Amino acid sequence: MQSENLLDKNIEYIAKKFPNCISEGKIDFDLLRQELSPVLVEGKDERYRLDWVGKRQAILTANSPIAKTLRPLREESLNFDTTENLYLEGDNLDVLKLLHETYLSKIKMIYIDPPYNTGNDFIYNDDFADDADGYLTKSNQKDDHGNRMTANKETSGRYHSDWLSMMYMRLKLAKDLLTDDGAIFISIDDNEIVHLRKICDDIFGSPNFRNTILVRRRIKSLNSQFAASGLQRLNIGFEYVLIYAKSDNFTMRPLRMKKINASRKGRWDVFWSNADRPTMRYDVLGFTPKDGQWRYSKEKADVAVANYEKYQAEYAMKMTLEDYWEGTGCCMQFIRRISDGYGKNGGVQHWIAPSDTALRTSNWTDIEVSQIHKEIDIPFENPKSRELIQELVKLANLKTGDIVLDFFSGSATTAHAVMQLNVEENISIKYILVQLDEKINEKSEAYSAGYKTICEIGKDRIRRAGKKIAEENRMAVPDIDIGFRVLKLDDSNMRDVYYNPKAYNQDTLLDFITSIKEGRTAEDILFQVMLDKGVLPSSKIEKRRTTNGQQTYYIVGATESEVIDLICCLDKKIDTDAIKEIAKHQPGCCVFLDSGMDSDATRTNVKQVFDTYSSKTNLEVL
Ligand SMILES: C[S@@+](CC[C@H](N)C(=O)[O-])C[C@H]1O[C@@H](n2cnc3c(N)ncnc32)[C@H](O)[C@@H]1O
C-alpha cells in the first residue's frame, strides 16, 4: 500500500536500453554519459565491471554515423532479381551501421565465428577506419596486401583491449537487430571466452545468457613429442558456442541426438507427478491420487491400461513387451499397477519405451567443430562444419521467412547450412552474410586455386553448394532459393554538398547541379534510398516505365501486393505528367532526382502534385 518506487522503475527503464550501464543494480554514470555523448567522456569511478583501454572509445565509434552505402553488384550475384538472400562485402562494423535501422528487431538468429585472438590473428583496425588511405600506407598501418587488417600479437600492450573493442562495437549494434524472440550464437575458444562472456553480459544482460555449448575440436597431437618430459598443458579437445537471447521470449527447439550404446530395453516408471492439477486426478486400476496428478489424460490412460491387459492376456507368454511394442508400430503406451505398490502413485506405473536418442544437452562433442564438407572442395583454413551451424539454426527454431545473419562469414558455411536445412525441412529461411573483402595470402592453397579474396571463396562456395543442393532436390523442392544478391560497401553516392549545404556558397553550389557523385548508377542510388527509408535491400524490385517512358523502380509491400512502400524515379527527364502518374499510386515514400526535373516549373509542381494526389507520401527530392 505505497506508491511505486520510481527510482527502481527508472533504473529498470535505462537497463532495458543500456544493460551495459548497469553494474550490480546501480547505474554506471560514466558509461551512460558516454552512450549519450558525441565526444569522448572522462570517468574514473571504481565499480564491478570489465574495463579495458578503449572501452568508451568503442561506444563512441559504435554510435557515430558514417557516410557510406551498399552498392549492388549484379554480375557477382546469382538470381539478383528473385533471391532474398544477401551477400554483403565490406567491414562488418560499417555494414552493421547501415543495416541498423532497416533490420531493427528483424533478425531471428545471428551466428558469428570471429577471429579467436589466438596471438596470430589479424583484426580489422577500426581506429583508422576514417583516415585517409595515404596516411595509412605512409604510417605502415596497412598490411602487405593493402588491407586494414593488423596483426594482434600477444606481445602487444593492447592485445585483449583491441580485440574486446573490436567485438564490443559490433555486438552492441548486432543486438538491436535481433527480434524479441531471437538469439545470438558465438563460436569462441579458450583465448577470449572469459572476456566474451563478460561483454555479452554487458550488452545482452546477464539474465539473457542461455548456454555454453561444447563442440569437439580435432586434436592435433602436439603434445606427443613432449610426453616423456611432462606436459605443461593438455591438448585442447573442444571449443565453445555461447548463446545469448534477446529476451525471455526466445525458446529453443528440443533437439535429439543419437545415444551411444543405447539400450533396447524399456522401463517402468511412476505414473504420478507432483504438479498439482485436480482435473488430472482420476481412478486408474482402482487408485485415485489425493494430490499431484497423473501424467496423461483419462482417455489416454484408459487405452494404455487396456493395451497392457491385452499384452498380458494374449502375448506375454510369447514375446517381450519390447518386441510387442515394436511389432505394433512403436507407439503403443502401457500402464499397470503393481500389487505391492505404495506411496502417492499407489503402485501405478507407465512404461517408458526404449529410445536410441536423447534430448541434446550443451555437450555437442559428437560434432566436430571444423570440417570442410567433402563434396564442396573449397580451400579455406578451419571453416566451421556445416553440420554444426545447421544444428544451431535448428536449435534457434527458425521458420519460413526468418533471417539468419552471419557477419564474420568466411567461406560462407552459414549459407550452405541454411540452404541444406531449407531442403531437409522444406522451409525457406533467408540469410545475410557479411565478409570483409580481405586479400588472400599469395602463398596459400586458396591463392594457387585462383581465389584472390575471401569474398571470392565465399561466393563460389554458395554457388557450388547451391547448385549441388538444387540438383539433388529438384523433384522434392523445385523452388529452393539458391541465389544471393551481392552488395558492396562503398562511400556514399552523395557528394559532400548534400550533407553540408551550408558549407557551400551559392556560386560553388552551381557547380553541383547534381548532388550525386559521378559514376554512380540509378541502382546504386536506389539501394542507398532503400536503406535510408528502412526498405529491406533484399526486397523484390519491379522496374516499370511511365506512359512517357520514364524509368521507375517500385518496391511493393510484401503483405498486400498493391501497397507500394517506395517508388524511385531516378530518370533524367522527369515531367509533371510522370510525377502525377506516380503520385496516383500513393506510395509510402517517393524519391526523385532534382537534377532529373525537366524544368523549374516541374521542380515547383512536385510538392503540389503530391499534396493533391497522395498527401501521406513521404516525398524526397535528392
Ligand atoms: C574465423 S573466420 C569465419 C569462418 C566461417 N565461419 C567459415 O565457416 O568459413 C572469420 C572471418 O571473419 C572475417 N573478418 C574479420 N574481420 C572482419 C570485419 N571487420 N568485417 C568483416 N569480416 C571480417 C575474416 O576475413 C574471416 O574470413
Residue 366 CA to residue 214 CA, distance in Å, equals: 10
Choosing from 384, 435, 451, 460 the residue with most ligand 1 atoms within 8 A of its CB, the one to mutate for a pocket test is 435
CA of 224 relative to ligand 1 center, distance in Å: 31
Q: Name the stretches of the chain with pLDDT < 70.
A: 1-4, 45, 126-148, 157, 221-223, 373-375, 505-513, 558-562
CA of 541 relative to ligand 1 center, distance in Å: 30
Q: Which residue has the cell 602487444?
A: 156
* Element at 545 (helix H, strand E): strand 542-545
Residue 130 CA to residue 124 CA, distance in Å, equals: 13
Sheet strand arrangement including 589-592: 542-545, 551-556, 564-569, 589-592, 618-621
Q: Is the Cβ–Cβ distance between 579 and 606 less than 8 Å?
A: yes
- Burial of 27-42, coded b for 16+ CB within 10 Å and e otherwise, reads ebebbbebbeeeeebe
Q: Cell triple for residue 399? A: 521458420
Q: Is 73 exposed, middle or buried (0-12, 13-18, 19+ CB in 10 A)?
A: middle
User: Going from the N-terminus, what domains does the chain have, and what CATH number goes with each?
Assistant: 6-49 (no CATH), 68-223+232-256+362-488 (3.40.50.150), 263-353 (no CATH), 494-621 (no CATH)
Q: Is the Cβ–Cβ distance between 558 and 400 less than 8 Å?
A: no
Cβ neighbours of residue 397 under 8 Å, at least 6 residues apart? 251, 252, 253
Choosing from 117, 381, 436 the residue with most ligand 1 atoms within 8 A of its CB, the one to mutate for a pocket test is 436
User: Is the minimum distance from the CB of 436 to ligand 1 under 6 angstroms?
Assistant: yes
Residue 320 CA to residue 508 CA, distance in Å, equals: 94
Give tens-digit pLDDT for 231-255: 888 888 999 999 999 999 999 999 9
CA of 112 relative to ligand 1 center, distance in Å: 8
CA of 218 relative to ligand 1 center, distance in Å: 20
Q: Which residue, 311, 381, 328, 440, is CA-closest to 113?
A: 381
For ligand 1, atom 12: residue with the closest CA:
408
Choosing from 173, 438, 456 the residue with most ligand 1 atoms within 8 A of its CB, the one to mutate for a pocket test is 438
Q: What is the DSSP letter of 2?
A: -
User: Is the minimum distance from the CB of 124 to ligand 1 under 6 angstroms?
Assistant: yes
Cβ neighbours of residue 118 under 8 Å, at least 6 residues apart? 189, 191
Residue 11 CA to residue 27 CA, distance in Å, equals: 7
Tell me the CA distances in angstroms from 153 to 117, 122, 196, 236, 504, one per residue in order: 8, 9, 18, 21, 46
Q: Is the Cβ–Cβ distance between 583 and 606 less than 8 Å?
A: no
Which conformational region is residue 369 in: left (phi greater than 0), alpha (psi within -120 to 50 degrees), or beta?
Answer: alpha
Q: Which residue, 585, 587, 622, 584, is CA-closest to 603?
A: 622
For ligand 1, atom 26: residue with the closest CA:
410
Task: Return mean pLDDT, the chain.
Answer: 88
Which conformational region is residue 292 in: left (phi greater than 0), alpha (psi within -120 to 50 degrees), or beta?
Answer: left
Atom of ligand 1 nearest to the CA of 408: 12
Q: Which residue has the cell 588472400?
A: 440
Please list the residues that pair with 87 across neighbouring strands.
Answer: 433, 486
User: Is the minimum distance from the CB of 90 to ligand 1 under 6 angstroms?
Assistant: no
Q: Is the Cβ–Cβ distance between 280 and 363 less than 8 Å?
A: no
pLDDT reported for residue 86: 98
Residue 296 CA to residue 310 CA, distance in Å, equals: 20
For the chain, the maximum distance between any two Cα atoms, rounded to a whole number of angstroms, is 105
Residue 166 CA to residue 25 CA, distance in Å, equals: 27
Tell me the CA distances in angstroms from 123 to 119, 169, 347, 384, 454, one per residue in order: 11, 13, 64, 19, 15
Residue 118 CA to residue 153 CA, distance in Å, equals: 8
User: Is the minimum distance from the CB of 438 to ligand 1 under 6 angstroms?
Assistant: yes
Q: Which residue, 467, 367, 370, is CA-closest to 410?
A: 370
Q: Cell triple for residue 609? A: 502534385
- Rg for the chain, CA atoms, rounded: 30
Within 13 Å of residue 608, how many CA atoms lie on the same side as its CB? 7
Residue 22 CA to residue 34 CA, distance in Å, equals: 13
Residue 515 CA to residue 405 CA, distance in Å, equals: 33
Choosing from 116, 126, 381, 409 the residue with most ligand 1 atoms within 8 A of its CB, the one to mutate for a pocket test is 409
Please list the residues that pair with 239 across neighbouring strands.
Answer: 215
Q: What is the pTM of this model?
A: 0.85
Q: Is the Cβ–Cβ distance between 431 and 418 less than 8 Å?
A: yes
User: Is the minimum distance from the CB of 115 to ligand 1 under 6 angstroms?
Assistant: yes
- Burial of 233-243, coded b for 16+ CB within 10 Å and e otherwise, reads eeeeebbbbbb
Beta strands in 261-382 (DSSP E): 267-270, 272-273, 293-294, 335-337, 348-352, 357-359, 363-368
SS3 at position 249: coil
Q: Which residue, 20, 29, 53, is CA-closest to 198?
A: 20
pLDDT reported for residue 258: 85
User: Is the minimum distance from the CB of 411 to ligand 1 under 6 angstroms?
Assistant: yes
Atom of ligand 1 nearest to the CA of 149: 16
User: Is the minimum distance from the CB of 455 to ligand 1 under 6 angstroms?
Assistant: no
Cβ neighbours of residue 63 under 8 Å, at least 6 residues apart? 35, 38
190-197 LR contacts (CB < 8 Å, sep 24+): 190/236, 190/239, 191/116, 191/117, 191/118, 191/119, 192/116, 192/117, 192/160, 192/163, 192/164, 193/240, 193/242, 195/50, 195/160, 195/163, 195/164, 196/167, 196/242, 197/242
Q: Is the Cβ–Cβ distance between 488 and 89 less than 8 Å?
A: yes
Residue 46 CA to residue 249 CA, distance in Å, equals: 34
